[in-house]
A and B are shown apart, each in its own frame.
Chain A
Amino acid sequence: MTATQPLLQIRGLRTHFSTESGVAKAVDGLDLDVRPGEVLGLVGESGSGKSVTALSILRLIPDPPGHIAAGEIWFQGRDLLTLSWRDIRRIRGKEISMIFQEPMTSLNPVFTIGRQVMEMILTHEPATSRDQARSRSIQILTEVGIPDPATRMDQYPHELSGGMRQRVMIAIALVLNPSLLIADEPTTALDVTIQAQILDLMLELKARRAGGAILLITHNLAVVAETCDRVAVMYGGKIQEVAPVRDLYRNPLHPYTRGLLASLPRVDGERATRLTTIPGSVPDIHNMPTGCKFSTRCAERFEPCDSIEPPLVEVAPDHLVRCHLHEAPPGTPAHQPASAHDV
């Protein structure tokens, strides 16, 4: 483990949904650290549980049908899962803020942009005067690259383009200087040129505001490569591999990570005649394999994979993987962070 104390520590998180066909274990024993000032990418396909993880951190899981069955989420010395609703509301937006995928629906269409930015300030810092809130709002809108912010303050969301709306969302999320920003697929709904601008902006803002960490949730491995410091790959409700970004792309260890990287078509380099694929599809959430979650699709499956779930072990400095092919080097203890129930 690194010397610095993580900003956010998730231990043994289990978020379950009761559905018609039984209990769906969307997140089922997740351990993850977010370090101060880093951009951590959480990558996974649909149904891997990455968005549910994000919602669980802020306790935004709709209950019913969902509920957090077990786990701890430590943030600034407090377990977010045991906080009262009042306290968690104080943290939302101020300490940890979130931006969502859909810039079209994340803003309230009947209020002006300015009102929605100012509301964030006035909710958490009621002592602020309206003039102060307004000038702070204009300042943050300038920072996220919105031209002529004073005019934009009085406009309604439908008068802005998708990219501009996502900038406003970022402004709202950052106006109170939170120490963690959770970005759930922030560029998926945007065109590729606009996506590039938004990613640039996020990196630029991160460089400018030291200390703030970003948890970037995405399915796009290329976006991760260009923005993140560390990457966590999720599959079947669990972390399968965590590594610094260069390590992961240079030396992916988990067969799933390798499969994902190989199946990407590329815009540069030689054109492959045929794409490499991962056979099969994501297992049904009600019917997950008992052993390794990836065992049903893994080409390198062997004896223990079907029955025994491998632990997440640190096989190289800062590089953790959950696979029977990779045992911890002798002498190093398995990555077992205060969670006896997660084996």
Chain B
Amino acid sequence: MSSPDTILDVQDLNVRFPVFGGIIPRKTSEVHAVDGVSLTLGRGETIGLVGESGCGKTTVGRAIVNILRPMNYRVDVTGRVLYHRNGQVVDLASQGQASMRRYRADLQMVFQDPYSSLNPRMTVGAMIEEPLTIHTSQSKAERRDRVRWLLDKVGLSPSHASRFPHEFSGGQRQRVGIARALATNPKIVIADEPVSALDVSVQAQVVNLMQDIQQEFGLSYIFISHDLSVVRHVSDRIFVMYLGNIVEAGPADEIYRRPAHPYSQMLLAAVPRPGPDARRTRRVRLREEPEPSGVAHPVVDDLPSPLNKPSGCAFRTRCPIARPDCADSAPPLVERDGRQVACPYTT
């Protein structure tokens, strides 16, 4: 499915976290956090990965940059992450930590929490300089110049290089994180909830900064977020995830205009909209279930725990149009109206 313009091609990615129990700890079950996810990223494109907490979107991002194993030794990753580099194709998922280091410069990440993602004991300059020391043979003076240039690019002052993270506000820290990710001239940046922890007025600044940088450097973004309005603003294509599966994928404008999967519909309906004529009625259609008294009563529905994922279509427990046979097998993603939908019954 990859075109010449594809830079990253993720095929059938599976991530399982074992769960240990018993007197002598052994694997008793597992959380299938990412269940056969496939996606492609074009050069200069931004794809958005949306979903609620526990849907596996963050895990997908971390699996692509191959940091799940080094950060959590008990994890089982299968599938292929094909990185197209100068006409060659490399499977990043099969690289060990040592050989992966060769591709690290091309593949960077911006993290959600601007407080924990910067080392509190290192100066901002040292943090941005570190990737340059590892991946380039620049002299100290050249690296210093580059750090200043990067700080200027992300809207900070070069004199901030000698500062420590705790001296900055959340938005400024996120700019430092972006400068660090840009240091080695990456091709792909995975942005994991980069603006979720920021205030509204600062959020817009950082979103604009990321878009400016994308244009200037020709970056490809994988933008992971639970905030549907931000994702819509930045993304060319959208992947909607639910409990480890992609349930709908396609051009952003299409999906936002006419969501096809019942989950996408529910998600979009739930987003509150600012404005003078905001609706003040029930936003989320819930499955109705007769009470013992015979009166239909809306069922309070919650996300099932990833530990007990429903069989078949994972969304069936919350789906307003679920049928009995939804429990039998997981519906595959099917091409329809210029997008892919994993639901045979939606209209």
Q: Would you call B273 and A192 a contact (CB within 8 A)? A: no
- CB of A191 within 8 A of CB of B278, answer no
**If A222-B271, A226-B273, A260-B201 touch, does A197 touch B208 (CB 8 Å cutoff)?**
no
Interface positions of B from 200 to 253, Cβ below 8 Å from A: 200-205, 207-208, 211, 226, 228-230, 232-233, 253
Distance between Cα atoms of A199 and B283 in the complex (Å): 9
The interface stretch among A67-75, A159-167, A178-186 is A159-167
Residues of B within 8 A of A219 (CB): 199-200
Q: A200-B283, A226-B272, A266-B273 are in contact. Are A161 and B302 (CB under 8 A)?
A: yes
Q: Smallest distance from the beta carbon of A155 to chain B beta carbons, Å?
A: 14
Instruction: Tell yes or no: B102 within 8 A of A by CB.
Output: no
Asked if B204 contacts A191 (CB within 8 A), the reply is no
Q: In the bound complex, do residue A267 and residue B228 qualify as a contact, i.e. CB atoms below 8 Å apart?
A: yes
Of chain B, the residue at the smallest CB distance from A261 is B274
Does B103 sit at the interface, judged by CB under 8 A? no
Interface string of B281-301 (1 = CB under 8 A from A): 011101000000000011111
Question: By the criterion CB–CB under 8 Å, are A192 and B52 in contact?
Answer: yes
Nearest-neighbour CB distance to chain B for A279, whole angstroms, equals 8
CB of B203, distance to nearest CB on chain A (Å): 7
**Interface residue total, chain B, C-beta cutoff 8 A:** 50
Q: How far is the CB of A318 from chain B (nearest CB, A)?
A: 15
CA distance A224 to B301 in the complex (A): 23
- The answer to whether B271 and A260 touch across the interface, beta carbons within 8 angstroms, is no
Q: Which residues of chain B come closer than 8 Å to A277, judged between CB atoms? A: 201, 204-205, 208
- Residue pair A220, B272 in contact (C-beta under 8 Å): yes
B108 to A: closest C-beta gap in Å: 23
Q: Shortest CB–CB separation between residue B148 and chain A, in angstroms?
A: 21
Min CB distance B155 to A, Å, is: 10
B268 on the interface (CB 8 Å rule)? yes
B199 engages A282 (CB within 8 Å): yes
Flag if A267 contacts B274 (CB, 8 Å): no
Min CB gap B112→A, angstroms: 14
Contact (Cβ within 8 A) A196 B270: yes
Whether the Cβ atoms of A249 and B228 lie closer than 8 Å is: no
Residues 24 to 54 of chain B near chain A (Cβ within 8 Å)? 52-53
In this assembly, does A55 line the interface, its C-beta being within 8 Å of a C-beta of chain B? no
Across the interface, B266 reaches (CB within 8 A) one of A162, A163, A193, namely A193
Contact A264:B274 (CB < 8 A) given known A191-B53, A191-B226, A271-B232: yes
Distance, CA A226 to CA B280, complexed state (A): 5
Q: How far is the CA of A224 from the CA of B280 in the complex (A)?
A: 11
CB-CB under 8 A for A193 and B280, given A249-B274, A272-B233, A281-B202 = no
Residues A163 and B278 in contact in the complex (CB < 8 Å), given A192-B271, A226-B272, A281-B169: no
Is the pair B52, A191 in contact by a Cβ cutoff of 8 Å?
yes
Given A226-B273, A226-B279, A261-B274 in contact, is the A274-B211 Cβ separation under 8 Å? yes
> Are B172 and A281 interface neighbours, CB within 8 A?
yes
Q: Which residues of A contact B276 (CB under 8 A)?
A: 225, 245-246, 249-250
Query: Once bound together, how far apart are the Cα atoms of A43 and B8, in whole Å?
Result: 41
Task: List the B side residues contacting A250 at CB < 8 Å.
Answer: 276
Question: Counting CB contacts under 8 A, is A203 at the interface?
Answer: yes
Show 30 A/B contacts (Cβ-Cβ < 8 Å), sorted by A: A46-B199, A145-B300, A163-B300, A191-B52, A191-B303, A193-B52, A193-B270, A193-B284, A193-B303, A194-B302, A194-B303, A197-B284, A219-B199, A220-B272, A226-B273, A226-B280, A226-B283, A249-B278, A250-B276, A260-B201, A263-B200, A266-B233, A266-B274, A267-B229, A267-B256, A267-B268, A271-B253, A274-B208, A281-B202, A282-B199
Which 8 pairs of residues, A with B, have the shortest CB-CB distance?
Answer: A222-B272, A263-B204, A196-B270, A225-B278, A265-B233, A191-B52, A249-B276, A45-B199
Known: A197-B301, A282-B199. 20 other contacts (CB 8 A): A146-B300, A161-B302, A191-B53, A193-B267, A193-B270, A195-B270, A219-B199, A222-B272, A226-B273, A226-B279, A260-B201, A263-B200, A263-B203, A264-B229, A266-B273, A266-B274, A274-B208, A275-B208, A277-B201, A281-B201
